[in-house]
Amino acid sequence: MGNSELDVVVQAREILNNEKNKLTNSHPYLVEKQITHMQLKENEKGQLLIPVGDYEGNIFSVTKIDATGKEEIMRSNYLLTELGYIIGDIKDLDNKNKSIIVCKDFASGASLSKATNKTVLVGFDDQNSLWIAEGLRKRNPEIDIIIAIRNDHKSPVFITNYPEYSKETRYTEQANLYANMINARVIIPPLTDKEKAQGLNNFNDIALSRGDKGLRSCLKTLLSKDKTKIKKQSNEMTL
């Protein structure tokens, strides 16, 4: 590990262990996203602190979220692995009878965990969330891995494939390629035209738009054990 990576690790741990931090579930970001069932550390600057680490709980970085929702992650080359934040029981990662959800953003992860009672791994980055899923499959060959991505209907995101594909592809396409590679499945928020017009794109957005009951209903369909049905799901939905 180079000095820059070591510096990030040391700084992240110092930030998280600062005695002036306080536990909160009423931070403006948590209230806005309706995830006040989560309790996190908040620093003196009013930023939520989300630890970024490995499966054993070792901390390598930290993500800070201010009252406006702006995220700042302390980055190093080491973060280009399967590091993330675990919501739920870490023991579930080794239970072959469990379903584990992997997603990119914290708010969606919190909403997905609350609605399903499943353990969720948050990657904080489009590519990193896919590497997390890949690392999880290597750890547990039999577990049911669900990659929850956003519906990028308005602003498609393109990222470079790794390593089997040389060209850039739309994120939804890459997520499905990864899912096929590691025997996982992908779920996408099935948005209505009205929700799309409002700029909604992720599972936390669905929770805010339809309420907890609406999100649970949506996920009940998406998480059906009929995986063929899930792979063929459409990004469109009408009510």
Asked if the model's pLDDT at residue 231 lies above 60, the reply is no
pTM for this entry = 0.85
pLDDT digits 0-9 by tens, 172-183: 888 888 899 999
**pLDDT of the residue at 222:** 94
> What is the pLDDT averaged over residues 39-58?
92
Model confidence band, residue 107 (pLDDT cutoffs 50, 70, 90):
very high
> DSSP assignment, residue 100?
E
Tell me the helices (H) and strands (E) count for the chain, helix number first. Answer: 8, 12
Q: Can you point out the beta strands (E) in the chain?
A: 22-24, 40-42, 48-53, 59-65, 71-73, 85-87, 99-103, 120-122, 144-148, 158-160, 168-170, 185-187
Asked if the model's pLDDT at residue 80 lies above 60, the reply is no
- Would you say 142 and 96 are in contact if contact means Cβ atoms under 8 Å apart? yes
By mean pLDDT, which of 47-56, 76-85, 135-144 is the weakest?
Answer: 76-85
pLDDT digits 0-9 by tens, 27-40: 999 999 999 999 99
Model confidence band, residue 151 (pLDDT cutoffs 50, 70, 90):
confident
Report the amino acid identity of residue 99. S
pLDDT digits 0-9 by tens, 108-120: 999 999 999 999 9
Give whole-number Cα distances, 155 to 130, 158, 193, 229, in Å: 19, 10, 15, 26
The three-class DSSP label of residue 184 is: coil
113-123 residues labelled b (16+ CB within 10 A) or e (exposed): bbbbebbbbbb
Tell me phi and psi for residue 237, to 5 degrees. -160, 140
pLDDT digits 0-9 by tens, 117-133: 999 999 888 888 888 99
Report the amino acid identity of residue 177. L
